[in-house]
Structure 1
């Protein structure tokens, strides 16, 4: 599952919050977990960023993500279904960069068409 869109060294140079030591710690932890697949530095960086560079939280999210894929494969397989792809083709979906004062993530969705026939 390892992939690199840009060099990892480039990311370290651009992200002052990212520490190579933290990435190596998470990679080593993942390798020690028999139920988790091996993932590379780039994937760990994605998880660390999403978890605001908190190591324990990142470990929990990685474990939950891959365990969920094993326990509920139909949910993850459905991501490629024609019905779900139809939804993706007719809507813009994204999370906003800032959280609410209570710490909630805001999820924004917008229909691309006013024609309701597109949403059947």
Structure 2
């Protein structure tokens, strides 16, 4: 039973990692930086990048035009969405993933020994 619990918990953490960071290259970079005791780079995510692009295009077309104004408003929403996504990932990592990993590293090891 302990082996099954360990296997299921490891599988669960793996899948949640994939959901929180679907890009395997980003996951690898984060893993390497963690092992080297370095902080992950605070890069804009895809939603923020799209938001910046839309705001930039909207400003090029002119904020006084309907198209430019719409692009700027959508861009600002995407930037907010990107920040909310980062906050979600951070809170899921702290509130869900850390307890699971602590369980695997602590209690689970004592159960399987």
- Per the normalisation by structure 2, the TM-score is 0.23
Name the one with the larger helix percent.
Answer: 2
Name the one with the larger strand percent.
Answer: 1
- Per the normalisation by structure 1, the TM-score is 0.22
Task: Pick 1 or 2: higher relative contact order, CA cutoff 8 A, min separation 6.
Answer: 2
